[in-house]
Amino acid sequence: MLHKTKGIVLLATDYSESSIIAKIFTEQFGLQSYLVNSVRSKKAKSKSGMFQPCTMVDMVVYHKPEKGLQRISEANFAQQFKTIPYNVIKTTIALFFAEVVYKSVKEEESNANLFHFLETVLIFLDERDMPFANYPALFLIHLSKYLGSFPENNFNEQHPFFDLAEGRFVNEVKFPAHTLSQTESQGISTAIEMRFENFSAFNFTPNEKRQLLHNLISYYHLHHAHGSKIKSHLVLEEVFE
CATH label of the domain that carries residue 114: 1.20.1440.120
Q: Say if residue 64 is in the same domain as residue 101.
A: no
Q: 168 in helix, strand or coil?
A: strand
Q: Check pLDDT > 90 for residue 217.
A: yes
Q: Check pLDDT > 60 for residue 89.
A: yes
Q: Say if residue 101 is in the same domain as residue 212.
A: yes
Residue type at position 121 = V
Q: Say if residue 36 is in the same domain as residue 141.
A: no
| pLDDT band, very low/low/confident/very high, at 45 (cuts 50, 70, 90) | low
Domain edge (last residue) among 79, 94, 115: 79
Residue type at position 212 = L
Q: Check pLDDT > 60 for residue 46.
A: no
Question: pTM for the whole thing?
Answer: 0.93
Query: Comparing C-alpha atoms, which of 155, 223, 157, 229 is closest to residue 185?
Result: 155
Query: Comparing C-alpha atoms, which of 185, 183, 187, 149 is closest to residue 170?
Result: 185
Q: Convert the pLDDT of each residue in 147-163 to its tens digit.
A: 999 999 999 999 999 99
Query: What's residue 182's pLDDT?
Result: 96
Distance CA 84, CA 106 (A): 26
The stretch 85-98 carries a mean pLDDT of 96
The stretch 161-182 carries a mean pLDDT of 95
Query: What's residue 43's pLDDT?
Result: 58
What's the domain count of the chain?
2
Query: What's residue 44's pLDDT?
Result: 56
